[in-house]
């Protein structure tokens, strides 16, 4: 190997070592301690999850079908609310575009 090749190999290895140390330091860095708000929100989420898990399971087929239909009704109403909200946002966007078109007239300039 020539001197230039040897020097370039040494430089490349040194850069790789520095990058390796930097990546290692990033992964071993300690995270910031949790705040009280984060802890409270996590506790409330855990309580909600426990409440969902503790619901009684119906023992007969009619109970299962009733619970499925109740859940599908809730899902349908949530989807309807979401669609209505998005439709309202689209209407507002259309109104603002129409107002912009009415306020800007090329012939008046």
Model pTM score: 0.35
Q: Where are the domains of the chain?
A: 60-103
For residue 97, is it left (φ>0), alpha (ψ between -120 and 50) or beta?
alpha
pLDDT tens-digit profile of 10-35? 999 999 999 999 999 888 877 655 55
CA 30 to CA 93: how far, in whole Å?
45
Choose among 76, 6, 107: nearest CA to 14.
6
pLDDT tens-digit profile of 94-105? 888 887 766 666
């Amino acid at each position: 190997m020539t001197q230039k090749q040897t020097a370039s190999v040494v430089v490349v290895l040194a850069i790789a070592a520095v990058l390796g140390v930097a990546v290692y330091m990033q992964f071993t860095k300690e995270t910031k301690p949790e705040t009280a708000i984060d802890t409270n929100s996590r506790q409330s989420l855990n309580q909600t999850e426990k409440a969902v898990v503790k619901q009684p399971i119906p023992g007969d087929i009619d109970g299962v079908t009733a619970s499925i239909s109740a859940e599908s009704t809730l899902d349908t109403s949530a989807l309807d609310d979401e669609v209505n909200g998005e439709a309202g946002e689209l209407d507002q966007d259309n109104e603002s575009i129409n107002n912009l078109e009415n306020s800007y007239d090329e012939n008046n300039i």
